[in-house]
Structure 1
Amino acid sequence: MWDPRELQHRVKEVGADLRSVPYFMRKRGVLCLRLGPVDFRAANALKQELLARGGDAVVHGGAIAGTVYRTRVILMGTPGQLRSLQEKLAHMPYFGLEEVRSGLKAALDNLDISNWEVPLPGGRVLSLGRITKVMGIINLTPDSFFPGSRHQGPDGALETAERMLSQGAHVLDLGAESTRPGSDPVSPEEELTRMLPPLRAIRREFPEAVISVDTYRSATARACAAEGADMVNDISGLSFDPEMARTVADSGCALVLMHIKGRPKDMQQNPTYRDLLGEISDFFEHQMDLAERGGIPRDRIILDPGIGFGKTYQHNLEILRQLEAFSTHGRPILIGASRKSTVGIATDSKDPEDRLEGTLAITSLCAMRGIALVRVHDVEENVKTIKMIEAVKEAGL
């Protein structure tokens, strides 16, 4: 539910009269779905149909008079009111309303999904959705931004994996190349040299563990899948390597499809967005379509909005404040904010070593909002935080 500042910002963004904010405030405790620019006649029809059902729509102030040709729209209504609107739009095949109806139906259908069975190789599944689950980070690099997460060689990685699994980690995420802002890529050969021995050791010792590999290279993903990896965590969301979709499809691995703007070397050089949440959502839809064309069914995809990857501090906070914006895609959401600079700025903690409390606050937020998976350095502390939140959520039920 949008707070007053958020609602005023969105009303202004649409171009509506700001004097309408107090009126819309009375209706903010309902679903608010944003549409891209539509024909002004469609916008007027949507507003009238929702008003007739007890809902409303925010449109540009010039839409009624027709002084603007297209306008963004915020649909405001209960699920029942919006379902009724969707049904009525089936009888209104004009002004682009059929496309609106299709998108509205998909969004409402997806909002009803809260549990997922993500297929993994070998017939196993990763169950997500009832409670927030934890992905533990195992960095096989000498230069990751948080020194406490660096584990070089199979022995160190194996020890960390054992500890994380005993503490309640549901997924282990192995990464052999630092993708911190400003980092340079390593060679494909070096990535595999770092990745494969620990992967083999962990798979051998923990055959039932769910193992993810953090890579954007199809060759690395292919080699890791052959050694028992269950999931590919691609920070590029299939945008860096044109062979990645087919590789993941052939492997049977699940896919974490992350949003990024730019590349790690330059992604924090003044990233800008016209519509942050809308652009991330458009990226997800486009890349999921690409994944499906490459042979990856949507039920194997997890979405990650990419905290810190081509986003400013304010961008990251907006994503965290509006986590529900991505639920219309119908896929589980992963949030990876552990000890990142956003936590450091918010808590005045320059050293990543001092960012645990801020990270736990974000994990609490994610658990309250029903986020499926959090990617963290400190498994035990985050698992306990989620248990506390779940206890509060379940109290009296």
Structure 2
Amino acid sequence: MTINCKGSLIDLSTPKAMGILNVTPDSFYDGGRYKDENQILIQVETMLNDGATFIDVGAYSSRPGADHISEEEEKSRILPIVELLINTFPEILLSIDTFRSKIAQHCIDTGASLINDISAGNLDKNMMTTVGELKAPYIIMHMRGTPQTMKSLNHYDDLIHEVNIYFAKKVSEAREKGINDIIIDPGFGFAKNIDQNFELLNKLNLLSIHNLPLLAGLSRKSMIYKTLNIEPKEALNGTTSLNTIALLNGASILRVHDVKEAMECIKLVNAIKGISS
């Protein structure tokens, strides 16, 4: 199971880590932490040295109830960071966390490798066409509504069935637009309550019917810290526990704030499965 990133084939039969770099002022965990170029470069270098295959850069906060920002504001936040990272780390595989096609176009043109779209094209009708033309790998996530409305859109008659139907439709649409490399993300915390998140994690292997790489984004999320009655900054141990379950249930990519711990998790699960790291 491989994806083509700027001409390099990345083998996802062995799980990989995707390090998170939020350049938003209001992310639930690390918002506002990386305010200048030096802090950004130190953090990215650390994640790469710790074993991250991908770095996911986002400039639009998608936490529940986050403020909406304009396309121009998102562009002004993210494009200088993409330029900085490409110039400093020429071999870096940058994933761009955006639902806007023009942001995707600008960032791929600047040297980014993948597009990570929380809306799977629902919030910009031009996104899939753009990604297909760019020949970039495309991460599609399950979500309802928008970050501002999704919290109230969490009624399901059969969660796993409905998520699988959603992905079947979205994958078909993406293929029609010429997108070759697709990764699916079940969207933990997006239009799902805590109980639904745990059901989704427990049955994650049922998403394997699509025969596509699966991304798990569990890092320090509310399903962990609210269940344990702690703060996000204290949720690393819980994150590692749930990442282990995600890997055992078929995850190919762990999207994380803490790459070193994620890589240790991957190595241990590989050892359980008899896979050479």
Give the TM-score normalised by the residue count of structure 2.
0.95
Aligned length: 276
Q: AA paired with 1:246?
A: T
Tell me which moved more, 266-275 or 162-171. 266-275
1:338 maps to what in 2? 219
Q: Secondary structure at the match of 2:151?
A: coil
Q: Secondary structure at the match of 2:20?
A: strand
CA positional deviation for 1:324: 0.8
2:188 maps to what in 1? 307
Q: Determine if the alignment matches structure 1 residue 127 to structure 2 residue 48.
A: no
CA distance in 2, matches of 1:361, 1:187: 37
2:261 maps to what in 1? 381
2:208 maps to what in 1? 327
CA positional deviation for 1:366: 1.9
Q: AA paired with 1:342?
A: M
CA positional deviation for 1:253: 1.1
Q: What is the Cα-based RMSD across aligned positions, in Å?
A: 1.6
Of the candidates 158, 164, 170, which is equivalent to residue 53 of structure 2? 170
Tell me which moved more, 359-368 or 381-390. 381-390
Q: Determine if the alignment matches structure 1 residue 118 to structure 2 residue 3.
A: yes
Mark the CA change 1:152 to 1:253 in structure 2 (over 3 Å): closer, same or farther: farther
Q: AA paired with 1:243?
A: N
Q: Is the 8 A contact 1:183 1:264 kept in 2?
A: yes
Superposed counterparts of 1:59-138, under 5 Å? 116-121=1-6, 123-130=7-14, 132-138=15-21
Of the candidates 180, 190, 199, which is equivalent to residue 63 of structure 2? 180
Q: AA paired with 1:269?
A: S
- Structure 2: gaps (5+ residues): none
Comparing both chains, which one has the higher relative contact order based on Cα–Cα distances under 8 Å and sequence gaps of 6 or more? 2
1:66 maps to what in 2? none
CA distance in 1, matches of 2:99, 2:133: 16
Of the candidates 336, 356, 370, which is equivalent to residue 250 of structure 2? 370
CA distance in 1, matches of 2:240, 2:98: 26
CA distance in 2, matches of 1:369, 1:148: 30
Q: Which has the larger radius of gyration?
A: 1
Q: Is the 8 A contact 2:118 2:142 kept in 1?
A: yes
Of the candidates 219, 235, 238, which is equivalent to residue 118 of structure 2? 235
- Structure 1: gaps (5+ residues): 1-115
Q: Is the 8 A contact 2:144 2:190 kept in 1?
A: yes
Q: Secondary structure at the match of 1:118?
A: strand
Q: 4+ residue runs of structure 1 moved beyond 6 angstroms?
A: none
Q: Is the 8 A contact 1:171 1:211 kept in 2?
A: yes
Q: AA paired with 1:328?
A: I
Of the candidates 162, 187, 194, which is equivalent to residue 279 of structure 1? 162
Of the candidates 89, 94, 97, which is equivalent to residue 211 of structure 1? 94
1:93 maps to what in 2? none
CA positional deviation for 1:278: 0.9
Q: Is the 8 A contact 1:117 1:126 kept in 2?
A: yes
CA positional deviation for 1:224: 0.3
Q: Is the 8 A contact 1:154 1:197 kept in 2?
A: no
Q: Is the 8 A contact 1:184 1:265 kept in 2?
A: yes
Q: Secondary structure at the match of 2:95?
A: strand
Q: Determine if the alignment matches structure 1 residue 202 to structure 2 residue 82.
A: no
Mark the CA change 1:148 to 1:243 in structure 2 (over 3 Å): closer, same or farther: closer
Mark the CA change 1:234 to 1:270 in structure 2 (over 3 Å): closer, same or farther: closer
Q: Is the 8 A contact 2:203 2:249 kept in 1?
A: no
